[in-house]
Structure 1
Amino acid sequence: MSTVRSAKEHVARTREQGGRVPAAWLAVLAGPLSFGIAGPALVLADVARDLGLTPAAVTWIVTAFGWAVAVGTPLMASLQSRRGSRTALAACAALVLLGGILTLVAPVLPVLVTGGALQGLGAAGLTTIAMSLARSARTMGLVTASLATVGSVAPLVGDVVTGLLGWRAALVLPVLSLLAVPSVLRRRPVTVLSAPRFDLPGAALLTALVTALVFVPHAWQVATPATVAAGLACARWLQHRPDGFVPAAVVRSPVFLLAAGTAFLLAVVNFGTMYALPPLLAERAGWTGQQVGLAITWPLLFGGIASYVVIAVTARTPFEFLVVLFPLLAGAGIVLASLTAAPFALLGAQALTSVAAASGQGALAARAGTAVPEDSRAAAMGQFNLAYLLGAALGPAIAALLLA
């Protein structure tokens, strides 16, 4: 028995042969995910008109993508940790490609929603793989800065692409991440493989928890008790299966929990502000939709670019300082937005929350990854990204409730 166990442990910790992937290709692999989150912002009206649907109905395209990204992040991280980066890359690329094809040919909304969900699943995996392969703070900073930078220009890019090629082309912009896949595969990226047995109950319970959380702002009477029940079930299953889909080494790390929790809050504030400010600017400044879209691009773009510098500068900064610094920046943005109606001040508030979220995501992700054992790194990146993306999904919904 001891021989069999030793053999299993050896297989579980086998390291793929390969080399490091250039940071630029990791940024290309991850960045296009933001097209799926922010790109449809100015496109949904065209979709509703062409399909003969209400604007509320077509928002399911964005909801499905966001849900798939949140759910797909830990699922694809598990695939990577069990089968390696190359297998995970191929599977995620196939999902993105299939989702893009369905989106281009979808005759009805349900097929369009399915295409968006498949793109979200694949894009989530590609982003998680990129972050897990980042072996320095600078590389991690470039990866997360690419997400923030693409997100800042995604609404305008989606609008331009719609004008040139139609709204379907705008909805398949996440397929641009496939440009990096061949180059990453050629490097045969390094991954430490974990135990091969897949924890199906753990994956199902976490999916149920994420799904319930996403629906809390929309139907809290039902979603709140469902969230509590799913959370308790996840905790019980973690005790039963500490090496399962959610490794105990990850969620029992205080540094990881604090990093992920802080990233969640930063994302809620940033994406909530991103969706709350456009109607305020239109109302208080009398700007048109295109003027608002162009104006808000600059603080978002500033946040994405500045985050790369901030992450590099804070590479050796104590972790305790970071979990205070970034929330203070985000809080300053909220205070500034609540104290004045001046357009310049509102855009400044967006810049503060954008810098805080983009910088916090990169800096805290690096700390979260090093706070767990090497063979749990892929899973840790999946759970960290899940926390951040949950904040990205809940922020706009919370903002909508506050403005209602």
Structure 2
Amino acid sequence: MSGGPSGDGLTTRARGEEAQRRRSGRVPSGWLALLAGPMSFGIAGPALVLPDAARDLSLTTAAMTWIVTAFGWAIAVGTPLMAGLQSRRGTRTALAACAALVLLGTVLVVTAPLLPLLVAGSALQGFGTAGLTTIAMSLAASARTMGLVTASLATVGSTAPLAGDLAASVLDWRAALALPVLSVLAVPAVLRRRPDTPLPAARLDLPGAMLLMALVTALVLVPYAWQAAGAVALAAGVALALWVRKRPDGFVPTVVLRSPVFPVAAGAAFLLAVANFGMMYALPPLLAEVAGWTGPQVGVAITWPLLFGGLASYGVIALTARVPFGVLATLFPALAAAGVALAGLVAATALPAGAALGAASLALLVAQGLTSVAAASGQGAFATRAGAAVPAAARPAAMGLFNLAYLLGAAFGPAIATLLVG
């Protein structure tokens, strides 16, 4: 007879170790980065393959951009909605629901023969990846981990157009649309290691969720139809404010809004996203004019400062973990403002000649690098402070609202840049 531990003993011990891992609240940083990063594929991955998709479906490229628009709308709306699901039903349920949305959306974009189904599939991917990203940020237990999560978003975003083009050349243009599904690879590991957290007794605040959804949808449409969308946004905002006063523990918790840190952190993140994503759209025509580069040359050139910003942000967030919040609230916006001012100076100056062409092109790329570092680092640093400033039970809601502010900046930035650059 063996003197070793019995099967039941091993099972009990394994369960005890699993429970201890969950109580510790620690999920390995790499899994959280994989859970969040692929969302950026949905934002930027289709950039270079939409013309091929349009030809294949006998549509215009402008019509195919609805795929990207649907994804952007879904991550903006889905971020607070999925955060609410996590707050009310727990991380396990939210992870399973978000993974199912991503998988279903991917099946549609890979197989759908019609544009409306492709748009629906892209929207489902957006809802799912928005939730997975918010979950990853809510589970980040340190500034270093948060830095890795936000760095993964920035790094994937900087390489997404080239990755999408490569996937399309190896397989098909639909492969570029399927890249967000990579986030699902992290779900089993995060499910096993997720912390156990108490769930609130209150039911889901459906009116609050619907009002916030209406407000976000209107805000996303403001750059395209500012009069009608602005009126709807104002009405929805007033209605939501009145509802929050009536239901302070609802979908938009007042404990988050009343935190002295959260409004500043979310507002700064919004401005940083406006600057960074606006520069991403403003710089290509400026580089083409200043340096005479072709579209592919501009695409490759602008990848490097964006990639630098994403990689550098991990170290910057770790180094600024103990820096006072007021310093950060000044430092990162000032860095972004310096990048915008540098690009504006080059654009406002008469086009140089000869050797100065290289200096002007370099200045524009440096400007993009400054706004990229500021946005990627600021997103992680401000998210860490915003999450730490609220009770643990409100952290998922805080992360959802924070990411919403950042994503709205990502929507407004390109629209503003298009108006300014023409």
Instruction: Name the TM-score, length of structure 2 as normaliser.
Output: 0.90
Shift of 1:252: 1.5
> Which of these residues, 355, 358, 364, is aligned with residue 373 of structure 2?
355
Structure 2 spans left out of the alignment, 5+ residues: 1-21, 348-359
CA contact (8 A) 1:86 1:189 kept: no
* SS across alignment from 2:251: coil
Root mean square deviation of aligned Cα: 1.3
d(CA) in 2 for partners of 1:48 and 1:278?
23
Other-structure match for 1:339:
345
Matches within 5 A, 1:76-95: 76-95=82-101
Shift of 1:283: 2.6
Other-structure match for 2:250:
244
Alignment: residue pair count: 390
Give the 3 Å change call, closer, same or farther, for CA 380–57 of structure 1 in structure 2: same
State yes or no: 1:226 paired with 2:232: yes
Percent identity between the aligned chains?
A: 74
d(CA) in 2 for partners of 1:190 and 1:136?
18
> Which of these residues, 72, 79, 83, is aligned with residue 78 of structure 2?
72
Matches within 5 A, 1:71-220: 71-220=77-226
d(CA) in 1 for partners of 2:201 and 2:127?
23
d(CA) in 1 for partners of 2:201 and 2:207?
16
Give the 3 Å change call, closer, same or farther, for CA 339–78 of structure 1 in structure 2: same
CA contact (8 A) 2:282 2:421 kept: yes
Give the 3 Å change call, closer, same or farther, for CA 101–190 of structure 1 in structure 2: same
Other-structure match for 2:353:
none
1:164-219 residue CA offsets vs partner (Å, 9 max, x unmatched): 11111001100000111111111133334223401111000000000000011100
Shift of 1:18: 6.8
> Which of these residues, 60, 63, 79, is aligned with residue 57 of structure 1?
63
CA contact (8 A) 1:372 1:380 kept: yes
* SS across alignment from 1:316: coil
Shift of 1:284: 2.3
Shift of 1:225: 1.0
CA contact (8 A) 2:25 2:139 kept: no
Other-structure match for 2:52:
46
d(CA) in 2 for partners of 1:193 and 1:319?
30
* SS across alignment from 1:340: helix
Shift of 1:401: 1.6
Give the 3 Å change call, closer, same or farther, for CA 188–334 of structure 1 in structure 2: closer
Give the AA of the match of 1:104: V
State yes or no: 1:396 paired with 2:414: yes
State yes or no: 1:381 paired with 2:391: no
CA contact (8 A) 2:390 2:398 kept: yes
Other-structure match for 2:40:
34
Larger Rg: 2
* SS across alignment from 2:141: coil
1:253-310 residue CA offsets vs partner (Å, 9 max, x unmatched): 1210000000001001100101111122123222122111111110000000110111
Shift of 1:162: 1.1
Other-structure match for 2:12:
none
CA contact (8 A) 1:133 1:190 kept: no
d(CA) in 1 for partners of 2:365 and 2:205?
45
CA contact (8 A) 1:194 1:376 kept: no
Give the AA of the match of 1:87: T
Instruction: Name the TM-score, length of structure 1 as normaliser.
Output: 0.94
* SS across alignment from 2:261: helix
d(CA) in 2 for partners of 1:356 and 1:257?
18
Give the AA of the match of 2:166: V
Give the AA of the match of 2:37: G
d(CA) in 2 for partners of 1:90 and 1:260?
28
